[in-house]
Amino acid sequence: MIIDTHCHLDDERYREDLLEVIERAKANGVERFIIPGADPKTLNRAIELSQEYDEIFFAVGVHPYDAQNYNRDFLEEFVTHQKCVAIGECGLDYFRLPESKEEIEVEKKLQKEVFVDQILLAKEFKLPLIVHIRESSADSLELLEKYAGEQGGVLHCYNADESLLKLSKRNFYYGIGGVLTFKNARKLINVYPKIPKERLIVETDAPYLTPHPYRGKRNEPSYCKLVVAKMAELSNEKESELEIYTTNNALKLFTKVK
């Protein structure tokens, strides 16, 4: 089977046809789904779905864009839930920073504080991290090396920065999704062979980052098959072999997924 290790099924865009989305995924061999925590306002929806569907699991966390809404006490209410498998998505995102230098420093400081606290939360409850890194590789690497220890996790939507490959020795995995199929993904395609195969896992980030040839449409977990096909092409492997080891990798990382 395939595990979609990162799909926002709590998004409103699945409200009307979620059952059909799940059925299409299963028809394509995708049998487990992890909803990352990003916005505290949608967490209850993610928990409801995990209780309604045996194959859905969730994580608790706050995306860097919502760092101002971070509330550790709120997250701790759900972190011991039997279907909670990780902390995140959390991390640093410097893509949309304020214009003034002073505001930029304030924003970066807040994001770092919130990220570090979620790293510590993961260590406290012995759960893996789901890490979001965008235009912030150096700071993210510094914080992970300083605070994460061997707790490990996944670099969601791995950004192809080779400096981050050293985290593979610290129990970090690399989430590969639809970006790999993009025509302008040359950097990721070049770095992909350097990722240890025992550290690769599959994701969609649905409803975002829809793979070719469906770019511009809503993404969904069934499209994991397109990601796997591209991965197999680049590594000259059979898709069935790649499915086996990426699923085993995901199960090693997310130990509560059954």
Q: Is residue 165 part of a domain?
A: yes
Whether the pLDDT of residue 99 is over 90: the answer is no
pLDDT, one tens digit per residue, over 116-133 is 999 999 999 999 999 999
CATH assignment of the domain containing 112: 3.20.20.140
Q: Structural domain tally of the chain?
A: 1
Whether the pLDDT of residue 147 is over 90: the answer is yes
pLDDT, one tens digit per residue, over 198-237 is 999 999 999 999 999 999 999 999 999 999 999 999 999 9
pLDDT at 62: 95
Q: Which one-letter DSSP state was computed for residue 211?
A: P
Q: Is residue 158 part of a domain?
A: yes
**Parent domain of 157:** 2-253
Q: Is residue 179 part of a domain?
A: yes
Whether the pLDDT of residue 40 is over 90: the answer is no
Distance, in Å, from the CA atom of 164 to the CA atom of 185, rounded to the nearest integer, reads 17
Mean pLDDT of 172-178: 98
Distance, in Å, from the CA atom of 183 to the CA atom of 177, rounded to the nearest integer, reads 14
pLDDT, one tens digit per residue, over 184-202 is 999 999 999 999 999 999 9
Distance, in Å, from the CA atom of 189 to the CA atom of 170, rounded to the nearest integer, reads 23
Beta carbons of 204 and 223 less than 8 angstroms apart: yes
The share of the chain scoring above pLDDT 90, in percent, equals 95
Distance, in Å, from the CA atom of 121 to the CA atom of 45, rounded to the nearest integer, reads 22
Give the predicted TM-score (pTM) of the model. Answer: 0.97
Q: Is residue 258 part of a domain?
A: no
Strand partners, 129: 87, 153
